[in-house]
C-alpha cells in the first residue's frame, strides 16, 4: 500500500515511518506541511492508496488539506487517517465530515498504527470491490444488468453526499467514541419502504442513484448539524448526530419525505419512481444501562426496520427535565473520560 504521511514534526515522522515499516508498510513518502503534501500528491506518478494527516499544522491544517484531497478525482475513496493529539469531539467530527475515515491519537505506538493501517487496507479492498462494480456499470450500461448487481443487503458506499460515509467509516467512528461521548450522541434510522420491490424492478445504476437521492434528502435535513450517515444495506440508513440535535423532531419524517417527493425521482427511462421513506425513533444510550455505541446504531436500525412511513399520532420524545439532567450527567462523565 502506497502511503503518504503528513506531519509538521520531523521527529514524529522519524518515529512513524519505521513503525510502519515494522508492520510491513514500507512504501511511505512524507511531507512536513499541507502545501508540500499537496505538491507531492499532484505530482505523484500513481495515486497514494492511504494518507495519514496530522490535524493541527500551521497555515493549512490537516482538516482543510483532507477536504482539498477529497476534491481530487483520484482520491474520492482513498482512506485518509488523521493523526491527532486532540481528543475533542469537535476536531474529530470535523475531520470525519471533511472525508477522514479513521483517526489515530498521539502519542501512538507501533501496534496501533499497524492496526489502523490494516483497517485502512481492508477498506481499500472492500470498497474497491463494491464501488468498482457500481461505477463500471454506470459507464457500461448495456452490461450492467447481466454482469454486475450488488446484493439487496450490500451496504454500498454512496459518494458525494454531504455527511454520508461508507458504513465501515461510520462503524469506525462510532466504535471510537468514548463512553462519555456515546452518551452525548443519538442514532436514528431511515428506511426506504418496500425496498424489495424497488430492488427487483430498478437497474443497478437507477438503484444506486435512488439510494444516493434519498441519502441527499435525509442529509439536507441535517445541513446545520455535525452528523455522519451511512447506507447500511436493505434500503436502510443509519445516522449519528449529537444528542439534542434540533434537526430531530416531529417534523423530520415529513421533511425527509417532502424532500424526496420534491426530487420527482424517475428511472433513466423516465418512469416515475415513488419512494416512501420511514423515519425511526432516535436512540440513545442510557448512562445507567450503558451499552456500546454501536448497539445504539443497531437499535436505530431495528426500530425503523418495520416502520411503514408516518405513524398516526406518532411523536418524537422531547427532552424532558429528566433527560436534561441525564445529559448534564453524561457531559460531566465525558469530561472525565
Binding site for other proteins (CB under 8 A): 8-9, 11-12, 14-15, 18-19, 22, 54, 56, 58, 83, 85, 106-111
CB-side exposure of 250: number of CA atoms within 13 Å? 7
Nearest to 28 by CA among 45, 3, 10, 9: 3
Nearer to other proteins, 107 or 312 (CB): 107
Nearer to other proteins, 91 or 195 (CB): 91
Nearest to 160 by CA among 209, 227, 198: 209
Least distance in Å: CB of 79 to other proteins?
21
What is the spatial distance between Cα 101 and Cα 221, in angstroms, rounded to a whole number? 23
Least distance in Å: CB of 229 to other proteins?
29
What is the spatial distance between Cα 245 and Cα 267, in angstroms, rounded to a whole number? 34
Nearer to other proteins, 107 or 200 (CB): 107
What is the spatial distance between Cα 38 and Cα 31, in angstroms, rounded to a whole number? 9
Least distance in Å: CB of 63 to other proteins?
15
Nearer to other proteins, 8 or 245 (CB): 8
Nearest to 177 by CA among 286, 99, 103: 103
Sheet holding 277-279: strands in order across? 228-233, 236-242, 185-192, 277-279
Least distance in Å: CB of 19 to other proteins?
7
Least distance in Å: CB of 114 to other proteins?
11
Nearer to other proteins, 55 or 155 (CB): 55
Least distance in Å: CB of 4 to other proteins?
18
Can you state the percent helix, strand and coil of the chain, rounding each to 5?
50, 15, 35
Least distance in Å: CB of 289 to other proteins?
31
Nearer to other proteins, 18 or 319 (CB): 18
What is the spatial distance between Cα 262 and Cα 267, in angstroms, rounded to a whole number? 15
Name the residue with cell 469506525.
172
For 49, other C-beta atoms within 10 Å of its C-beta total 16
Nearer to other proteins, 20 or 120 (CB): 20
What is the spatial distance between Cα 273 and Cα 201, in angstroms, rounded to a whole number? 10
Nearer to other proteins, 108 or 148 (CB): 108
Least distance in Å: CB of 301 to other proteins?
37
Task: Output the CA torsion 43→48→52→57 (10° steps).
Answer: 10
Amino acid at each position: 500500500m502506497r502511503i503518504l504521511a503528513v506531519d509538521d514534526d520531523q521527529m514524529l515522522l522519524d518515529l512513524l515511518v519505521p513503525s510502519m515499516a515494522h508492520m510491513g508498510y514500507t512504501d511511505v513518502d512524507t511531507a512536513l506541511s499541507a502545501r508540500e503534501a499537496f505538491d507531492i500528491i499532484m505530482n505523484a506518478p500513481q495515486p497514494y492508496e492511504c494518507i495519514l494527516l496530522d490535524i493541527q499544522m500551521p497555515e493549512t491544517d490537516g482538516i482543510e488539506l483532507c477536504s482539498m484531497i477529497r476534491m481530487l478525482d483520484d482520491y474520492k475513496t482513498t482512506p485518509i487517517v488523521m493523526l491527532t493529539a486532540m481528543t475533542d469531539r469537535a476536531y474529530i467530527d470535523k475531520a470525519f465530515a471533511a472525508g477522514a475515515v479513521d483517526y489515530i491519537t498521539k502519542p501512538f505506538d507501533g501496534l496501533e498504527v499497524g492496526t489502523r493501517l490494516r483497517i485502512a487496507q481492508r477498506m481499500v479492498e472492500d470498497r474497491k470491490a463494491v464501488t468498482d462494480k457500481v461505477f463500471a456499470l454506470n459507464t457500461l450500461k448495456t452490461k450492467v444488468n447481466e454482469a454486475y448487481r450488488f446484493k439487496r443487503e450490500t451496504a454500498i458506499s454512496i459518494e458525494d453526499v454531504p455527511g454520508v460515509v461508507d458504513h465501515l467509516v461510520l462503524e469506525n467512528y462510532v466504535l471510537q467514541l468514548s463512553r462519555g461521548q456515546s452518551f452525548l450522541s443519538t442514532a436514528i434510522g431511515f428506511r426506504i419502504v418496500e425496498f424489495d420491490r424497488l430492488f427487483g424492478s430498478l437497474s443497478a445504476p437507477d438503484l444506486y442513484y435512488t439510494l444516493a437521492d434519498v441519502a441527499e434528502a435525509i442529509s439536507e435535513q441535517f445541513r446545520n448539524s455535525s452528523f455522519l450517515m451511512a447506507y447500511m444495506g436493505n434500503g436502510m440508513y443509519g445516522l449519528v448526530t449529537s444528542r439534542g440535535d434540533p434537526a430531530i423532531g416531529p417534523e423530520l419524517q415529513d421533511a425527509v419525505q417532502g424532500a424526496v417527493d420534491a426530487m420527482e425521482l424517475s428511472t433513466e427511462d423516465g418512469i416515475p419512481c415513488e419512494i416512501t421513506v420511514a423515519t425511526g425513533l432516535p436512540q440513545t444510550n442510557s448512562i445507567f444501562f450503558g451499552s456500546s455505541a454501536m448497539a445504539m446504531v443497531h437499535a436505530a436500525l431495528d426500530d425503523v426496520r418495520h416502520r411503514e412511513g408516518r405513524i398516526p399520532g406518532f411523536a418524537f420524545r422531547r427532552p424532558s427535565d429528566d433527560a436534561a439532567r441525564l445529559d448534564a450527567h453524561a457531559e460531566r462523565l465525558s469530561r472525565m473520560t
